[in-house]
Structures are given as structure tokens and as C-alpha cells.
Amino acid sequence: MSQTLVSHDPATGEVVWSGAHGDVADAVTRARTAFPAWAARPLAERIAILERFAELVKADTDDFAALIARETGKPLWEAKTEVATVAAKVAISVRAHAERTGERVDAAPGGSFALRHKPHGVMAVLGPYNFPAHLPNGHMVPALIAGNVCLFKPSEKTPAVGERLVRYYHEAGVPADAVQLVVGTAAEGRALTSDPRIDGVLFTGSSTTGVAIAKALAERPGTICALEMGGNNPLVVWDTDRLADSAAIIVQSAYTTAGQRCTAARRLIVRDSVADPLMGELLPLIDRIRVGSAFDDPQPFMGPVIDNDAADGLERGYAQLVEMGAKVVRPLERPDAGKPFLTPALIDVTGLSGLPDRELFGPVLQLRRVADMDEAIAAANDTAYGLSASFVGGSEDDWQRFWRESRAGIVNRNRPTNGASSAAPFGGTGMSGNHRPGAYYAADYCAYPVASAEGDMPEGSMAIGLR
């Protein structure tokens, strides 16, 4: 394996970053040494450092966004929204830490009963490429506030963004060994998760990798494991006369970030009586989507997918569905075979059975027409995933039934499947997560509760069973 890692601009193929692979064993050693001092700092001091981090990120918005756009290919407007979420995460995490891991002391005769929280120790944070700053930051900020130290392995496709994020932490005052960048590929990821000195693994990425992490940690139940994985997410459109609004919700759900969101809609389930009028609004809107490079003027709605390998895989997955009988409504096209730009695709899979239950991580949306609510809910739940679902239109009773019977950690009404709030828990069921939701609930896996019975002085008595 090469000891130099290189990342490229997906739109141009130009080199964005190159550097050496990290030394996992050395990084863990230094992190273990750094943990006691960081954990011992007063909470107010740790919070003040993270607040400085937020200010540094905000002050550097334009440059940071440009780097994200270059390395991921996402449009500059979208990269700027990612930078904003990175900075906003601090205030949200401070509030969540106080609310979910606070201290309570109750008076008792001769002493008290107390509830406090402790950090776990050394946390391995494994980040994805689609939101290379926002998503790992969503683990690291609450972890650092709680007193943990972090070893951050960014996606091998976005090391430059990972390096910049760590630089902001250090400039704000987080000690160098308390947040470390560990550059590498799957080999470094496996080395991190297999090191017994790691106290927690916080992962965002594919279900395949998440399952492998869970297996690697199966014999280490004391290692905290938070898995935020993929989704084969349904969007159901029911009776509504707001067809233009519904079409906009569909496009935002399926094609934002070129479909490279774990919460993106993959399956569009539509009541038969609504389908044709809805297509009359949806198809012209799809045709208006501008696909282009991050810095184009005017700005595109979609950039490329992350690289040619990803584009190749999406083309294969799309072709398989067409071979199985899917009707092409809007094709998946690749204008330049040497670059990973793809057009937004819509295919009709109504009546087909045996379709693969997988996350096509790109701009491919599958349409299924259904007759009634029973069929709609069955279709929505026909997946091993359970991250996000959305219900558009319908009556209040329809919505209540969908919310009650749908299996997902995020269930929206008249809103896109994506764009989840950082001020709410984020996670899913089945192959989408392991019941450790992140975002606002990240505080739960960044600290553990400690109950204490505390006497003012030693007192003890034994009244039964003595000679």
C-alpha cells in the first residue's frame, strides 16, 4: 500500500491534497496521555475553547467553504451551508450537554445521592466524504465538551477538509494530542477500531463498514459504539393539490448533494390517482436542474458525485434496475465519461418484485405507484434500513397512521427527507443505526452516568446475621 494519500477535485481531477498515512499506534499513545489533563479542565474552560473554535470557523467561512467545494465537488452555496452548521454545532452541543448529562445532587440523611457524568476517554471518529466537516464535527464537539479526546480519521477522499477542521480546533486552544488527524484508508480505520486502548468508535458512513465495525467490537462491550449508517429512504406523496410544492420537496429530497446524503429519498411512493398530475410538475422541474462544477456562475443545483468509481457504481446499479424491468422516466446520463457528473434519474419500478434493497448513493430515484395506504406503508417499510421517511399531503389521520406505522428514526410531514435539525436527535433503525442517535443526542454517547451515594462521614451498622 502506498504511504502517500492523494485527494482530487472531482470536477477537474486536479490534486487537492497529498500527505502521509497516519501512525495509528503512536496517535493512540499520545491521546491516552493527553486524556487526563483535558478531562480535568473545568467544563467552562472546555466550552470557552470550543466557542473560540466556532468563531474561527465563522471568520474563515469563504476559504473553508471553497476547500470543501473543491474536495467534494458540491456547489459553493452548499459548502457554505456546511460551514455554518460546523460553527452552529457548538452552541447546540453546550445546551445538549447541560440538558442530557447534567449533575444532580439530592439530600439524604447524613449525606446525599448524586448523579454525575464522566467522559469515556479516547474516541475514534471516522468521518464520511459527503459532509466531511459537519458530520465528524458533530461527533467531536460534544465529545470534547464532555472531556474526551478524539482521533479523527477523515474519509480518504476528503483529507484536506479533515486537516483544516483539526487546525481550527488547535488554533482555538484544544491541545494537539487531544484532537489528532489520522490520515489513511480502510487499513487505518481497522487499526483504530481494533486497538484495545480506544474507548469509543463514532462512525458515519456506509452500512457495510458499520457492520464490520460492530463485528470488530463484539468482544469489547465496554467500547462505546455509535453507528450512523445509510438509508433506502421512502417519500410518500398522497392526496394533495399542492403539486408544485410536492415536486420541490421531491427534488430537494432526492437530488440535493447529487443524492449523496444518507437521508436522501431513494424511493418515491405515490398514490395512483395523484401520480400523473404530480409528474406534470415534477418532470419539468427535474429537467431544469443545473448540473455543474462547484464554482460555476450561475451556481448549479448539483455537482458531481465524489469520484469516477462512485459514478461507475451508480451506473451499474441503475443499469441493473433497468434490466429488471424498470421504466426509464428520466435517464441517468454521464455527459463526460472521464468525470463523475451524473444527471438526475427517475425510474418507474411499479409492479416489479425482487428489487435489491440497497442504498444507491447518488441521484437515482425509484417511483412506485400504489393504490391505498396499506400498500403505501408496506412499500415504505419494505427495507432493512430505517433512517428517514417523509409523508407529503394526505389527511391528519393519514399522517398519524404513517407516523405510527413507518419504521424510521426521522419521520417528516410535508418536508423533505433530508435537512435534519442539529437540535434534534439524528439516527435510524435496522441497517441505518444501532440506537445511538447523534446530533442533539450525541451527548448521550459522549459521557456515561455515574451514581454516587455520599455520606458526610463513615457510618455503618450490621443488625442481622452476626453471632
Q: Interior CA angle at 423 toward 178 and 123, to 5°?
A: 25
Contacts of 326 (CB under 8 A, 6+ apart): 347, 348, 349, 352, 366
Respond yes or no: is residue 163 known to be catalytic: no
Q: How far is residue 410's CA from residue 452's CA, in Å, rounded to a whole number?
A: 36
Question: Do residues 70 and 15 lie in contact, with contact meaning Cβ atoms separated by under 8 Å?
Answer: no
Q: How far is residue 349's CA from residue 341's CA, in Å, rounded to a whole number?
A: 24
Contacts of 427 (CB under 8 A, 6+ apart): 228, 387, 409, 433, 435, 436, 437, 438, 439, 441
Q: What share of the chain is helix, strand, coil (3-state, %, to 5)?
A: 40, 20, 35
Provide the 3-class DSSP secondary structure of residue 87. Answer: helix
Q: How far is CA 46 from the centre of its chain?
A: 25
From 78, 82, 225, 262, active-site residue:
262
Q: Say if residue 298 is preceded by a cis peptide, omega within 30 of 0.
A: yes
Q: Which three cell numbers stand for residue 197?
A: 486502548
Q: How far is residue 183's CA from residue 161's CA, in Å, rounded to a whole number?
A: 11
From 228, 323, 454, 459, active-site residue:
228
Respond yes or no: is residue 262 known to be catalytic: yes
Query: Cα-flanking dihedrals φ and ψ of residue 47, to 5°?
Result: -65, -40
Radius of gyration of the chain (CA): 24
Taking CA atoms, 452 is separated from 15, 103, 356, 449, in Å, by 55, 11, 51, 10
Residue closest to 163 by CA, chosen among 190, 189, 132, 188: 132
Q: Give start and end residues of each alpha helix (H) in 178-242.
A: 186-194, 207-216
Buried b (16+ CB within 10 A) or exposed e, 97-119: beebbeeeeeeeeeeeeeeebeb
Question: Do residues 354 and 324 lie in contact, with contact meaning Cβ atoms separated by under 8 Å?
Answer: yes
Q: Give start and end residues of each alpha helix (H) in 218-305.
A: 243-255, 272-288
Q: Which three cell numbers stand for residue 314?
A: 451508480
Query: Cα-flanking dihedrals φ and ψ of residue 335, to 5°?
Result: -55, -35
Q: Which residue has the cell 447534567?
A: 102
Give me the active site residues, please.
228, 262
